[in-house]
Amino acid sequence: MGSLSQRISIAFTLVTLVSLGQVYAEPLNGSVSSSDKPSGHEQLIDGYYPAYPPTTPAAGQEDLVKRGEYLAKMGDCIACHTDGRSNKGPYAGGLAIETPFGTFYSPNITPDKETGIGKWTEQDFIRALKEGRDPQGRNYFPVFPYIYFSKISDDDARALYAYFMSIPAIHQENTPLGFPFGVPGARLSLWGWNMLFFFPDNSPIEYRNDQTPEWNRGKYIVDGLGHCSMCHTPLNLAGSPKQRYYLTGGFIDGFWAPNITKWGLESATHEEVVDVFKKDKLINNAGPVAGPMAEVNHDSLKYLTDADMMAIATYIKTVESEEPLGLPPSNAKPSLARGRLVYTTACVICHQNGEMSAPLIGDASNWYMRLNDSGLEGLYRHAIDGFNSMPPKGACVTCSDNDIISAVDYLLDESLTRAQARQIQTKSSENSPHHDEGKNPTKSEESSSLK
């Protein structure tokens, strides 16, 4: 477990994270209400996208700056470091970034010498990316994705530095951190966090000789500047990715970032994956890309070369991770008992908390309206195929169609009154293609309120 001092540091970190976690979730002192705060993706909602600035490369650095600009787009740096509502300018910071622990404000990373990074040396910049520390040696909060950026090569870090030194300097003061982040000593807990979750000595991505150059390039992008895991991997209570569930899906700004492993993309071709980036087209013709991913495409992925897009597809289609929402496969007939198991395993995250505007379990009026509008068969199809922001089968890749039917029946059974259920059941039976047969074979046989 390490030395006594290491054990004390780990214990201190865990106590700090747990005890302050409830405080972090509260509005910052003196700040505007949460409803007035711009979230990290309201630029997208408002239809505003930041424009990339012109560059003025130093003599002899034209190619280096061009490469750095490409890498900055790959890393989508502009999305967090630009506040579109304030018109401060690209990379001038100030964007409010909501996290489960509270609100952070992105810093100015233009080359302004007073308010930006204009006084930083190349080594200062590399240390920020690779060690998560500022020029004074203070730890950054991991809302800055240094655990991913630490994996890039020194040459790529130098190219990024050359690029950021070539963009227009904007004099814009950084927004001070509120309580508790701004309290003296608050960053000390990050030493423990880094000890537990950040291993810079192991960060560089090793080239795999048993894989193709395309595969290795894809892994370098996905695990490095692309920081795909930040959205597509579930986080633990301390805000660190659960590596055993690498790329199996997660929530971001009320949207589901889907499973992009071999299992989640099993039926998709490489070209279909590339079309997600290139054409804003969801796999299986499920509609246009929406939410945070649309912004990522606009600000970042659309600028990648076709070769890099294909490299990403090649890599992620080989990733084999444990499925966090997995269930033992079952082709049994639908039942409420099975529905309850499916619900508590794969559906509760959204339908208990209203994530992605999912109807809450027990909300009779909402379920009555949906069932009245779509019918029982329609609800089954929505749940199985996906509908609006809901992923197909609730992102449960091991669930059968019957499992999802069971879950829908369980949700209805827990939500509707018997009078509502009888009224809807009568209408559903009359409109069912199985009406003449006298029954609907897909309904849960044990359903109580749907009888």
Query: Do residues 258 and 358 both lie within one domain?
Result: no
Tokens of 430: 């009359």
More confident residue, 380 or 40: 380
More confident residue, 190 or 17: 190
Last residue of a domain, one of 248, 282, 316: 316
Give the separation between CA 238 and CA 101, rounded to whole angstroms: 9
Query: Do residues 312 and 345 both lie within one domain?
Result: no
Flag whether 443 is in a domain. Answer: no
Q: What is the mean pLDDT of residues 248-261?
A: 84
* Whole-number pLDDT of residue 451: 42
* Mean of the per-residue pLDDT values of the chain: 80
Q: Is the pLDDT of residue 93 over 80?
A: yes
More confident residue, 239 or 172: 172
Flag whether 9 is in a domain. Answer: yes
Q: Is the pLDDT of residue 106 over 90?
A: yes
Flag whether 409 is in a domain. Answer: yes
Query: Do residues 192 and 222 both lie within one domain?
Result: no
Highest mean pLDDT among 32-46, 139-153, 368-382, 420-434: 139-153
More confident residue, 118 or 251: 118
Q: What is the mean pLDDT of residues 334-359?
A: 79
Q: Are 132 and 187 in contact (CB under 8 A)?
A: no
Q: Are 235 and 242 in contact (CB under 8 A)?
A: yes
Flag whether 155 is in a domain. Answer: no
Q: Are 255 and 290 in contact (CB under 8 A)?
A: yes
Burial class (CB in 10 A: 0-12, 13-18, 19+), 427: middle
Query: Do residues 396 and 421 both lie within one domain?
Result: yes
- Decide: helix, strand or coil at residue 238: coil
Q: Which residues lie across from 146 on neighbouring strands?
A: none
Q: Is the pLDDT of residue 24 over 50?
A: no
**Which residue's structure tokens are 């990050």?**
190
Number of H helices and number of E strands within the chain?
A: 18, 4
Q: Is the pLDDT of residue 6 over 70?
A: no
Question: pLDDT category, 295, cuts 50, 70, 90?
Answer: very high
Q: What is the mean pLDDT of residues 278-303?
A: 88
Report angle CA 105, 249, 187 to the nearest 5 degrees.
30
Q: Are 449 and 397 in contact (CB under 8 A)?
A: no
Which residue segment(s) compose the domain that 353 sits in? 336-437
Query: Do residues 31 and 68 both lie within one domain?
Result: yes
Q: Is the pLDDT of residue 293 over 80?
A: yes
Burial class (CB in 10 A: 0-12, 13-18, 19+), 340: middle
Question: pLDDT category, 228, cuts 50, 70, 90?
Answer: very high
Give the separation between CA 383 and CA 369, rounded to whole angstroms: 16
Report angle CA 65, 69, 74 to the nearest 5 degrees.
145
Query: Do residues 427 and 340 both lie within one domain?
Result: yes
Tokens of 10: 């780990």
Q: What is the mean pLDDT of residues 181-198?
A: 80
Flag whether 187 is in a domain. Answer: yes
56-91 pLDDT tens trace: 999 999 999 999 999 999 999 999 999 987 778 999
Q: In CATH, what number is assigned to the domain containing residue 412? A: 1.10.760.10
